[in-house]
Structure formats: structure tokens, C-alpha cells
Amino acid sequence: MKKKIILSVVIVVLVLVSALVAIPYFFKDNLVAFIKKEVNKDLLATVDFQEVDLTLFKSFPDVTLKLQQLTVINQAPFENDTLFYAQQLDLDFNIKQLFKKELKNLDITDVAVKEALVQLKVNAAGKVNWDISKPTLDDGKSESTAINMKIKHYLVENSTVLYIDDESSMKLEVKGLNHKGSGDFDLSKLDVQTTSTADELSFVMGGVPYINKAKVILDALIGVDFDAMKFTFKENKGFINDLALVFEGMVQLNSTDMDIDMKFEAPDADFKNLLSLIPSAYSENFTELKSTGKATISGNFKGKYTDELLPAFEILIKTSESSFQYPNLPKAVTNIYVDGGIKNETGRIDATYLTINDLRFTVDNDPFSAKGLVTNLMYNPTVDGYFKGTINLANLSKAYPMPANVPVKGILKADVKIKADQQSITNNQFKNIQNSGTLSLQQFVYEGDAMPHPFHISRAGIKFDTHTVHLTDFNANTGKSDLAVSGRLDNFYAFMFDNKELKGVFNARANQFTIADFLKADETAKTDEKPVSTAFKIPANLDLTANVNAKNVQYDNITLKEVSGQLVLKDEKVSFINTKANLLGGAIAINGSVSTKTNPATFDMDMGIQNFDISESFAMLETFQSIAPIAKALKGKLNTSFALKGNLGDDMTPDLNSLSGNALAQMLVDQIDTKQSQVLSLLSSQFTYLDPNRLNLKDLKTAVTFAEGKVTLKPITLKWNDISMQINGVHGFDKSLNYNLQMELPAKYLGKEASQWLSKMTAEEQDKITVPLTTSISGSMNAIQVKPNMQAAVSALTQKVVSTQKDKLLGKGTDALTTMITGKKPTETKTDSVVST
């Protein structure tokens, strides 16, 4: 008998389980179609979901409908914006509703939302994106809904809520939201018990972040009256970070507005609780922070919320004789007094203001204080403030956690008043700005990754007035470099607040200025890979002039002395005006510009050079090496004028293939070292009678032009002993070359190739008769080919020898004929004629 009973139970269980599995399968398609139809029928938005699951196991005898990747997409004027997204939405309802003859209604009892994103927006015109219910019928009657929310429990897990109000310049963001509530929503009046937590709560109004990534806990009992649409907060307690808050009041939703009457306070709050609201202060070791002092925090909101009005409100904060000290830091911040708040007394959005009645603190006996008022926060923030005090930066880092790897020292003193509004700054109405005071910095030292050496500022002073910021004093040094600067900045406030053009004039002086002292060595330089350069860009909103004087400037292996000139930064370009320097044993003067307005950057320079040491110039300056590679074999002085323009690479070095322009040069050569030039060495070996070391180049004048990646040398005439020469041609920055050397060569130098013809000439004739010898110099700088055209030279010699022999024979025949006629030799006849004359 027992076995039969057990078997019967097993069979019943199997039947029930089978039914639980099978029932959802049979009803799922109809249920999904019904929900899609009803939801899209009632909403001015597009609702969709990707996957559906129907189960009886989760909350039997209720059925759970699981919708995966649910989206609600807005229509105009927020077209294609996502109003709502949920990774999963669970809807529970009674199983009996599935067995109705026709599915016309669905009563939802439980809702669970998981990993959702809710984006609520108000545009500048005041339109909201959540007003998606279709309007009522013309007869004023609302169409009945087929999906009824008779909720007993609801749940939100790990979700994000974002509220952006462009009209009021407000933004509220909640991340990591977990919320649950319970109550009988089928009743017109009920109490809802809720529990909420959020990982991050941020609130910004008028560009001012009042709460930034705060942790939130809230337990609230809310009385709900659906008939009056009134929500009353009865027993409520919450935490923002470590600050405990209690609040009470009500919110009532009317047809066109909301009535709000809420107030809150932080009972028994101390200063540490208040400090937890500061994001940088609220860290992992915040619990170990030592603090003294009490804090009073309270607020209220009362009035109507409409398209034009906010409820009047105030949030007040006050502390006195407070202090705090971080663990592992040796100094404390003491004598902290705070008295301020944010208020709106009329409800007009533009009437919101921030007040700081008193703000004081002391760090290691250095006091600092401030007072201020910021009005019209939403549309035209207007500041009326004052701050004064001394801050020892070294002590500040010993009392408050500073960013890693930013060790600084120095004494900052401030005594500044400012009264300004944003519109006046934006519209350049500086007469409305009242600003005065001074800032000074002494004994400042920065040691960090951004600089290769500690950066010292012995003293710096700034003076403010209505129109101008004056840099009255600035003396600094780093590595081997020193720098002294003074000057002024105009239009400073428009630049700071509205990115307008910054104007200024500065005077800069230095005894020693080493460029490497301001450039941090790139870690990639330790590898064989060439570091990737980023193109340098001169900001478009600068109009700055700097008058520069430096006794010594060191750039890589180049030393410049007595540097002076004017630099102008304007229109994304730096102009060099009357810039002069002594280097390489001579002097250089530069006028021109570098522009980063285009990509690539360009330059246009006129340069005048006097008495440069030739060998040093061409050894140190890569551009010179490319222009005249043979010059490295010359010793002496160089005078030249350049007119060059072209493109610059990302590392701001010239793109040689883009160069265009010309140069005139005078070389005063004292010595030639053929070992330093492959072409001269080849000429020496090719022409044994020619000694390039003894060429007279004491006043060599050359002219070159630059175009399409090539340097064209105009003809140069040279002479060595009894040989006249002319050279001209082209070489490329790709190291290709094509030159012609034309020599008028005395016949005696032709040697073996012309021996048979030279034997027919006297020594005197070999000296006097010259022939042209053309030599091509081609190939590349690394593989030069020197090819004299000896065949043409010998051919020319042949013609001259034949002509000479003809002249000789003709002369002999004439003499013989004269003797026969006169009976005298030609010499006697000539003598007689002279005598008779």
C-alpha cells in the first residue's frame, strides 16, 4: 500500500512539474504579442525587447515574465534618444489570467528592474522627454488601459538615473542605484516602505558641482495619496557619505505644476561628517582621519515647481573652531570656520545665489580667509569676493593629500578683491569689472617628472587691476639656466572665462639659457625606436610680444651668445623680428616667421650671416651640410644671406624637399683639406697636375637656388696656376648630384692620351695652347663618379696642332718666295723697311 501511495505522489509531482514547464511554452507567444501591442498603443515612443522568458518557478502560483534588453526610444523632439533601457525587466502576475478565454487585461503585482538606464531630459525650450503618454480622446475620456499596475513589491538593481535640465542648467546623476519598495498599490491611499542605496550621486547647477560622486543610503516611509497625487515623507533617514540626514515634508503633483514643502537637517553632525562630502577628502583611509568641531547643516524647499519657477529654498552650512589631520601626515588644518550656503528666496531661477559669509583656516600658523557672494548662478554668474592669506606649499602637502609625484615648496601670499560677471567678461565690458590686489610667490621649488631638474622661483609677483594683469617680477632658475621676466597681460579675463584672445607684452632676460633644462628626456630615447613626435601647435587666441635678451643660449651642441630680438605670437604664428646672435665665430640676424596654421607647419625666413667659421658651421648645422656638402673641407670664414621658405616636420625641423629660395655667399677660405671631401679627393687622384689644396678661394662668391628638393649652383670661376676652371650643377637633398667642371687646360697636362700630338709641339707651344676639358661629377654623395671627357680634349688638341702646323708651313713658303723675289731673307727686308721709315 505504501508503495502505491509513494508512486501516486511521484506521479502527481511529475505531472505538476511538467505542467509548470509546459504552461509557459503554450502561452508565451500570445502574452508577448499582447504586451507589445498594448504598450505601443498607449505611448508616443517605441518599445521593444530582444528575448522573452516565461516561468512559474520563481514565484508560483504567480507567473514571471522576463523581458531581456528592453528599450524605450523617444520620438521628436528627442528623436532616437534612449529614455529607458533595462538589461532585464521581470513582471509577476497571477497564473489564472493566462487561462481566460481572451487575454484583455493583465494585472501586474511585482516588478523587478535590473541594470537599467533612465535618461530624463528637459531641453532649452522646456520640453521634457518623459511626456510620452498619448493624448486623451476628443470627448475628454481616456482610453482604458489593458495593463494594470496592482503592485505589491518592486525592485531596482544596479541601475543609473540621469536627469539633465538644459533650461535650468541642472544635472543630476545617480549610479549604482539599488532600490526596493513594498505597499498595496491597488489602494488609493497607502504607505510605501522603501530602501535605497547608490554608489555615486552627483549634482551640478549653473556649472557648480554641489555634490560629486557621493555614496547614498536612504530608508523612507512614504505616504501615498493617489487621488490627490500627494506623497508625504513620514519617517526618513539617510546618509550622504558619512553625513546623516533626516527630512520630512510632502510633494504634490498637480496638472500643470508641483507643490513642494520639504525640510532637512543633520542632527548631531560633526565637522568630519561634513568633510566626507569633499570627494578628494573621502578616501579609503577616511575613517582614520582625526577631526574636531561640530557642524550645523539644514535646508528647506517650499513653493511651486513650474516651467518658470523653482520652490524657494536655502541650504545652510556652519562650523566653528574645527580642525582635521590625515593619518600619516604630520600637520593639521586648524581654526576652520565656515559660514555659508545657497539660497533662492523668490523661486525665480535667476535668483539663486551662493554666499560665503566666512571661510577661514590655518595651516601651521599661516592663516587664510575668504568672503564672497555669487549671484545669478544660472544665467550670468556674478562674483563679489575677497581672499587674503599666506600658504606655505610645503606645509600644505604635509596637511592635505596632494597628487602623487608633485613635490612643491614655496610661500604663496594673496590679497585680492574681485567683482565681475560673466557677460561683462564675454562682451569685453571691462568697465564693469572691479579687480585689484596682489599675488606673490617666493622660494618656490618644483621637483617632478615634467622637468629634468628642480625648478626654482626665487620670487614672482602679480598685480591685478581692472583691465590688466601685471607680472611685476619673476626670477627663476633650473639646471644651468636662469630667467627673469616682467610684463603685462591684457584681455586676461576674457581669455580665462571665454577663451578670447590673450594679449600681452613681456621682457625676458637670461645670463644662461639651456634648452635641455626645459625638456624632459623621452623614455623612448632609451630604445632603438624613434619616438613619435606630435606636431607643435601655436594657439590661435594668443597675441603676445616678447623682447628677449640672453647672454648665452645653449641648444644641443650649438652655443649662441648675445641673443636679442623680438618674438611675436599671433594668428597661430611666431614672428622673429630683428633677432640677432653671435655663434660659430660670427654673427647671425634673422627676420621671418613660423606658422602652425596649416598642416604641415611652414616657415619663411631671411637670414644674414657674417664671419661664420666654415668648418664648424657645416659640421654642426645639418641644413648647411645638405646645402653645400663640399664645404666641410674648407677652413675660413663665411658671409651669406639666405631667403628660405618651406615646410616643417612634426619635430619642427625643415622638410628639405620643400625648400625654395636662394642664397648668396662669400667664402674667405684659408685652407682646403681634401681628406674631408670625397669629390676633392677623387679630383686630386684623377688629375695629378691639379692640387685642390692650393686653390685660391680667398674671395669665393657663390649663388645658389632651392626648389623641388634640389640645390642649383650657378657657375663659379676658379683659377689654379695656369688652369682656368668653371663649375656649376645641381645636387639633391636625396644625396644625388650632377655637376660639370669645365677647365681650359694647357696641352702639356694631357699626358699619354695626347703624346703623339705633343711630340709635334715645342715646349713653348705646349704652354700656350689650351684645350677645353669637360668633367662630369655625378652619382650620389656616397658613390661619386668623376668622368673627364679626354677624347673630346684630345680631339680639340688635334685640331689645334694641325692648324698650328699648317700655319708653320704657310709661313715657311711665304719666306722662301720673298727671298727669291728680293734676294734677301725676310728678316733683312723687314730691317730695310724699318730703316727707310
Q: Which of 402, 428, 448 is the last residue of a domain?
A: 402
- Summarize pLDDT for 298-321 with one digit per residue, the tens: 999 999 988 788 899 999 999 989
Residue 5 within a domain = yes
User: Do 45 and 160 have their domain in common?
Assistant: yes
Q: What is the pLDDT of residue 388?
A: 95
Instruction: Single out the residue in 402, 420, 445 at which a domain terminates.
Output: 402
Of 34-48, 669-683, 819-833, the one with minimum mean pLDDT is 819-833
Among residues 363, 379, 402, the one where a domain terminates is 402
Local structure of residue 276 (DSSP, 8 states): T
Supply the pLDDT for residue 368. 95
pLDDT for position 405: 59
Quick: pLDDT tens for 730-777: 988 888 888 898 988 887 777 666 666 666 667 776 667 788 888 888
The three-state secondary structure class of 28 is helix
pLDDT greater than 90 at residue 533: no
Residue 440 domain flag: no
Task: Could you list the beta-strand ranges (E) of 95-139.
Answer: 106-122
pLDDT score of 136: 62
Q: Does residue 687 form part of some domain?
A: no
List Cβ neighbours of 399 (8 Å cut-off, separation of 6 or more): 325, 326, 329, 331, 332, 333, 363, 364
For the chain, how long is the longest CA-to-CA vector? 181
Least confident of 14-23, 135-144, 611-620, 703-712: 14-23
Residue positions counted in the chain: 837
Single-letter residue type at 780 = S
Q: Terminal CA-to-CA distance of the chain, rounded, Å?
A: 178
Range of weakest confidence among 352-356, 524-528, 582-586, 708-712:
524-528
pLDDT band, residue 836 (cuts 50/70/90): very low
Model confidence pLDDT, tens digit, residues 123-177? 988 888 988 887 765 554 545 566 667 788 999 999 999 999 988 788 999 999 9
- Structural domain includes residue 420: no
Whole-number pLDDT of residue 754: 63
Element (H, E) at 681: helix 678-686
Angle made by CA atoms 339, 344, 347, in degrees to the nearest 5: 170
CA–chain centroid gap for 104, Å, is: 60
Residue whose C-alpha cell is 552650512: 317
3-state secondary structure at position 423: helix
Under 8 Å between Cβ of 272 and 242: yes
| Rounded Cα–Cα distance for residues 467 and 486 (Å) | 17
What's CA 367's distance to the chain center, in Å? Answer: 37
- What pLDDT is recorded for position 2? 47
DSSP secondary structure, 607-646, as one string: EEEEEEEHHHHHHH-HHHHHH-GGGGGEEEEEEEEEEEEE
270 and 385 inside one domain = yes
Pairing of strands 189-205, 502-514: unpaired
**Residues 151 and 284 placed together within one structural domain of the fold:** no
Could you tell me if residue 637 is inside a domain?
no
- Joined together, the cell numbers standing for residue 815 give 719666306
Distance between CA atoms of 793 and 775, rounded to whole angstroms? 10
In this structure, is residue 477 part of a structural domain? no
Q: Which domain holds residue 318?
A: 228-402
For residues 382 and 234, membership in a common domain is answered with yes
Residue 701 has pLDDT above 90, yes or no: no
Tell me the range of 171-175, 231-235, 466-470, 774-778 where mean pLDDT is highest: 171-175
| Average predicted confidence (pLDDT) for the chain | 81
The predicted pLDDT at position 49 comes to 84
Q: What are the DSSP E strand ranges found in 378-478?
A: 382-392, 408-421, 434-446, 455-464, 468-478
Percent of the chain residues past pLDDT 70, beyond the cut: 83
Which candidate, 601, 677, 607, 608, places its Cα nearest to that of 646?
Answer: 601
268 and 382 in a single domain? The answer is yes
Number of structural domains in the chain:
3
HEC per residue, 356-394: EEEEEEEECCEEEEEEEEEECCCCCCEEEEEEEEEEEHH
Is 705 part of any domain? no
Same domain, 362 and 252: yes
Q: Does residue 775 contact residue 793 with C-beta atoms inside 8 Å?
A: no
Query: In the prediction, which pLDDT does 82 show?
Result: 92
How many CB atoms neighbour CB 274 within 10 A? Answer: 26
Q: CA gyration radius for the chain? A: 47
CB within 8 Å of 81: residues ≥ 6 apart: 73, 74, 119, 121, 129
Residues 360 and 240 in one domain: yes
Are residue 37 and residue 153 in the same domain, yes or no? yes
Spatial CB neighbours of 306, under 8 Å, sequence gap ≥ 6: 256, 257, 258
CA distance 767 to 632: 34
What is the C-alpha to C-alpha distance for residues 359 and 368, in angstroms, rounded to an integer? 8
Residue 430 domain-assigned (yes or no): no
Residue 145 CA neighbour count, 13 Å, CB half: 15
For residue 577, what are the β-bridge partners?
A: 566
Phi, psi of 40, rounded to the nearest 5 degrees: -70, -25
CA neighbor of 260 nearest in space, from 221, 296, 300, 288: 300
The CA distance from 706 to 733, in Å, is 10
Instruction: Name the nearest CA neighbour of 728 among 765, 688, 774.
Output: 774
C-alpha to C-alpha distance for 299 and 317, rounded to whole angstroms: 9
In this structure, the answer to whether residues 52 and 153 fall within a common structural domain is yes
Q: Are 179 and 136 within 8 A, CB to CB?
A: no
Residues 70 and 161 in one domain: yes
